[in-house]
């Protein structure tokens, strides 16, 4: 790919001559000089320098040749979001002849880049609205309302001509398709006690919302349900501890039931106690699974990524799978061995532990 792209940049100056010959002004001369400098940098595979020169050439005198070479340089730099912006422009502006081959290559590069970035759909913005998109997890300059964005966390800010403002935070991952939703504030109005401004909560997409969005929402007057999350987490913890205690008790109660009964009345009493303990444990385990999973989904946080995400998913799936396998076994019967008697209760307890671990890596935006 490197040698092919370098060869292409050597062939395209001939096309440049025919494209820019009709513009023998200072801008065309500057564009030609930048283009030739970009070709030399591409020959040496200095792609960052080549991209800078091709960009300067494109800005001085936009031509399909400069745009194409700029796209090739961006591909080597793996700047896929910027590549897609240029690819869309190139496919729209470059004629079929003499750019049929280049259009085919750009279309292939575009298809390769799409899964590596996030697509952003913008709502109809008021006339005169100014949009700033700033990447918060890197020291990157702000941009406008772009269609393609690299993975990361972004602060979207908009200002209208009448003074209204809107803001939202989005956490984007490769392949995401997000529609921006902006809650506009009311303009500042004069009141007897001074000025007042009605603020609105910045809204994020239901697909993904980050802890920064939650912090911004809380700061503007829309608190997340902290008491509810803490209450559910507490109830889930108490229920899980109780279910674990019931599981241990059920194993202990099941042990004498596997032996030959000598006292019929005592045997029946222990059987009823065992069954009640098992039923109570099942209910507590189910409640623990519901409460802890809900708390894990509602708690505001940054999305869990990387190795920790996979560890939680694997451990949670293993616990849920083991719990389901145990719970789906046939029900306990009198005379079973000690280890198989309360299998459903043990399965429910394992599931109650694995469910929140399995859900925690996902931030579904339910906290708003």
Residue pLDDT tens, the chain, 368 long: 444 444 444 445 444 444 444 445 788 888 899 999 999 999 999 999 999 999 999 888 888 999 999 999 999 999 999 999 999 999 998 888 888 999 999 999 999 999 999 988 888 777 788 888 888 877 777 777 788 888 888 888 888 888 888 888 888 888 888 888 877 776 654 434 443 333 333 334 433 433 333 333 333 333 445 677 777 778 877 877 777 777 677 666 665 655 555 555 566 666 667 667 767 766 777 777 777 777 666 665 555 566 777 787 888 788 878 877 776 665 555 544 444 446 666 777 777 777 777 776 665 444 43
Domain finish residue from 80, 114, 148 = 114
pLDDT at 299: 64
Q: Are residues 339 and 264 in the same domain?
A: yes
Angle between helix 26-43 and 13-20 (nearest 10): 170
Residue 44 lies in a domain: yes
Cα distances from 368 to residues 112, 134, 167, in angstroms, run: 35, 22, 15
Cis peptide before 98 (omega within 30 of 0): yes
pLDDT at 134: 86
What range does the domain containing 197 cover?
Answer: 118-219
Domain finish residue from 57, 91, 114 = 114
Torsion, CA 235, CA 241, CA 243, CA 245, rounded to 10: -150
**How many distinct structural domains can be found in the chain?**
3
Residue 232 lies in a domain: yes
Residue 148 lies in a domain: yes
Q: Are residues 123 and 99 in the same domain?
A: no
Residue 368 lies in a domain: no
Q: Are residues 195 and 241 in the same domain?
A: no
Residue 268 lies in a domain: yes
Q: Are residues 207 and 232 in the same domain?
A: no
3-state secondary structure 86-152: HHHHHHHHCCHHHHHHHHHHHHHHHHHHHHHCEEEECCCCCCCCEEEEEECCCCCCCECCCCEECCE
In the chain the first and final C-alpha atoms are separated, in Å, by 46
Q: Are residues 236 and 347 in the same domain?
A: yes
pLDDT at 226: 62
Q: Are residues 214 and 231 in the same domain?
A: no
Residue 284 lies in a domain: yes
CB-side neighbour CA atoms (13 Å) of 216? 21
Q: How far apart are CA 86 and CA 71, in angstroms?
A: 7
Which residues lie closer than 8 Å to 38 by C-beta, 6 or more apart? Answer: 9, 49, 50, 51, 52, 53, 54, 57, 66, 69, 70, 73
Angle between helix 264-298 and 226-257 (nearest 10): 160
Residue 290 lies in a domain: yes
Q: How far apart are CA 37 and CA 46, in angstroms?
A: 11
Q: Are residues 77 and 138 in the same domain?
A: no
């Amino acid at each position: 790919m490197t040698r092919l792209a370098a060869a292409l940049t050597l062939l395209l100056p001939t096309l440049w001559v025919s494209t820019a010959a009709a513009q023998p002004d200072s801008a065309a001369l500057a564009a030609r000089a930048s283009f030739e400098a970009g070709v030399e940098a591409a020959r040496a595979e200095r792609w960052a320098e080549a991209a800078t020169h091709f960009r300067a050439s494109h800005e001085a005198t936009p031509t399909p040749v400069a745009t194409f070479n700029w796209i090739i340089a961006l591909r080597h730099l793996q700047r896929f979001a910027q590549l897609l912006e240029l690819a869309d422009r190139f496919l729209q502006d470059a004629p079929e002849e003499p750019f049929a081959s280049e259009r085919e290559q750009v279309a292939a590069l575009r298809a390769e880049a799409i899964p590596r970035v996030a697509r952003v759909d913008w709502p109809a913005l008021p006339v005169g609205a100014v949009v700033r998109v700033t990447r918060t997890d890197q020291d990157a300059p702000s941009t406008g309302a772009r269609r393609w964005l690299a993975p990361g966390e972004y602060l979207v800010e908009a200002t209208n001509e009448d003074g209204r403002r809107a803001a939202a935070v989005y956490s984007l991952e490769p392949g995401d398709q997000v529609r921006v939703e902006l809650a506009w504030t009311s303009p500042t109005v004069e009141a007897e006690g001074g000025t007042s401004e009605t603020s609105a909560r910045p809204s994020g997409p239901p697909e993904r919302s980050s802890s920064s969005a939650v912090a911004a929402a809380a700061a503007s007057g829309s608190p997340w349900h902290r008491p509810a999350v803490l209450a559910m987490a507490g109830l889930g913890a108490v229920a899980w501890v109780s279910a674990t205690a019931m599981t241990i008790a059920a194993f202990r109660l099941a042990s004498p039931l596997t032996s030959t009964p000598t006292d019929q009345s005592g045997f029946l009493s222990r059987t009823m106690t065992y069954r009640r303990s098992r039923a109570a444990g099942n209910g507590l385990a189910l409640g623990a699974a519901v409460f802890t999973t809900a708390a894990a989904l509602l708690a505001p946080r940054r999305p869990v990524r990387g190795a920790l995400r996979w560890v939680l998913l694997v451990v949670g799936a293993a616990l849920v799978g083991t719990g389901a396998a145990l719970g789906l076994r046939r029900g306990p019967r009198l005379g079973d061995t000690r280890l198989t008697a309360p299998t459903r209760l043990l399965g429910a307890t394992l599931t109650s532990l694995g469910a929140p671990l399995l859900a925690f890596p996902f931030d579904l935006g339910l906290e708003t």
